[in-house]
């Protein structure tokens, strides 16, 4: 790690955290955009499919976006794994009794909600993008894919669990990244934490509304 200054930065704990935060920002913005688009499900088949086609209009833009996303997920996971390993090194002998105090449930479960999300993403891609995990996949009709996909209760349940994890992950993650890149200031903490929770809840509520909408036949 000698030599390059940037190398040293990315090797350091804070550097890795910043990497995680920057990729976290990309991912957080992606889910915001994704949920906004997906809510077109409530606007009817034409609008939704129009939007889906628009996204794929240019292969360059599509693959550009996909590579940014993929890189972000990979870097995010890379830094998560690397830091998690260091965590074990930093306290080789654990406590006989440790009572968490001051941390939120979401903060303590980042290491669970994250990987669950990773598994979800794989499944989700097979479900709606590749279609391999979809009973009646139609590459050109995203609307129908969703409606059909969510007609199965176990699938909806899996999505709801994943959204709960996303909500937890974001509710701590967004606050955490603002701390990591140094946005927090004296007396701001309370507000920043609320922003994070608000962001997480809004996004997840949006996502959740779709499978539930399908299940309860609001979206047909």
Partner 1 sequence: MSAENLSLTLKIWRQKNAASTGAFETYAMKDVSTHMSFLEMLDVLNEKLITEGKDPVAFDHDCREGICGTCGMMINGRPHGPMKATTTCQLHLRSFKDGDTIVIEPFRARAFPVLRDLVVDRASFDRIIQAGGFISANTGSAPEANSMPVPKHVSDEAMNAAACIGCGACVASCPNAAAMLFTGAKMSHLGLLPQGQPERFDRAIAMVQQMDAEGFGHCTNAAECTEACPKEIPIEMIAKMNRDYLRATIRGPHAKVTGGGGP
Query: Residue 106 CB, nearest distance to ligand HEM (Å)?
Result: 9
Contact 30, 69 (CB under 8 A): yes
* Binding of residue 169 to ligand HEM (CB under 6 A): yes
* Binding of residue 99 to partner 1 (CB under 8 A): yes
Give CA separation, 4 vs 7, 8, 11, 23, in Å. Answer: 5, 6, 11, 22
* Binding of residue 180 to partner 1 (CB under 8 A): yes
Closer CB to partner 1, 60 or 90, in the complex: 90
Contact 211, 160 (CB under 8 A): yes
Angle at 177 between CA 172 and CA 183, to 5 degrees: 120
Binding mask 78-107 for ligand HEM (x = CB under 6 A): --x--------------------------x
In eight-state DSSP terms, residue 96 is: S
Judged by CB under 6 A, the number of residues near ligand HEM is: 42
Closer CB to ligand HEM, 57 or 97, in the complex: 57
Burial code (b: 16+ CB inside 10 Å, e: under 16) for 208-219 equals bbbbebbbeeeb
Contact 121, 133 (CB under 8 A): no
Among 2, 57, 59, 100, binds partner 1 (CB under 8 A): 100
Interacting partner of 24 out of partner 1, ligand HEM, none (Cβ under 5 to 8 A depending on kind):
ligand HEM
- H-helix or E-strand spanning residue 160: helix 153-180
Residues 16-45 that bind partner 1 (CB under 8 A): 16-18
Using CB under 8 A, list all residues that contact partner 1: 5-6, 8-9, 12-18, 83, 86-87, 89-104, 107-108, 110, 172, 175-176, 178-186, 188-189
């Amino acid at each position: 790690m000698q030599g390059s200054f940037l190398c040293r930065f990315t090797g350091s704990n804070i550097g890795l955290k910043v990497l995680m935060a920057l990729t976290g920002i990309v991912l957080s913005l992606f889910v915001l955009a994704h949920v906004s688009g997906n809510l077109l499900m409530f606007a009817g088949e034409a609008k939704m499919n129009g939007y889906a086609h628009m996204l794929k209009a240019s292969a360059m833009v599509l693959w550009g976006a996909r590579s940014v996303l993929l890189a972000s997920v990979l870097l995010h996971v890379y830094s998560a794994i690397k830091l998690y390993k260091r965590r074990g090194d930093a306290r080789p002998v654990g406590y006989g009794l440790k009572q968490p105090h001051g941390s939120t449930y979401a903060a303590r479960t980042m290491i669970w909600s994250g990987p669950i999300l990773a598994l979800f993403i794989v499944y989700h891609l097979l479900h709606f993008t590749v279609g391999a995990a979809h009973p009646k996949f139609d590459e050109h009709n995203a609307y129908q894919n969703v409606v059909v996909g969510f007609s199965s209760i176990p699938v909806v349940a899996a999505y709801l669990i994943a959204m709960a994890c996303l909500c937890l992950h974001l509710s701590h993650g967004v606050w955490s990244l603002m701390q990591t890149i140094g946005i927090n200031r004296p007396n701001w903490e309370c507000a920043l934490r609320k922003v994070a929770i608000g962001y997480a809840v809004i996004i997840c509520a949006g996502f959740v509304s779709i499978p539930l909408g399908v299940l309860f036949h609001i979206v047909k």
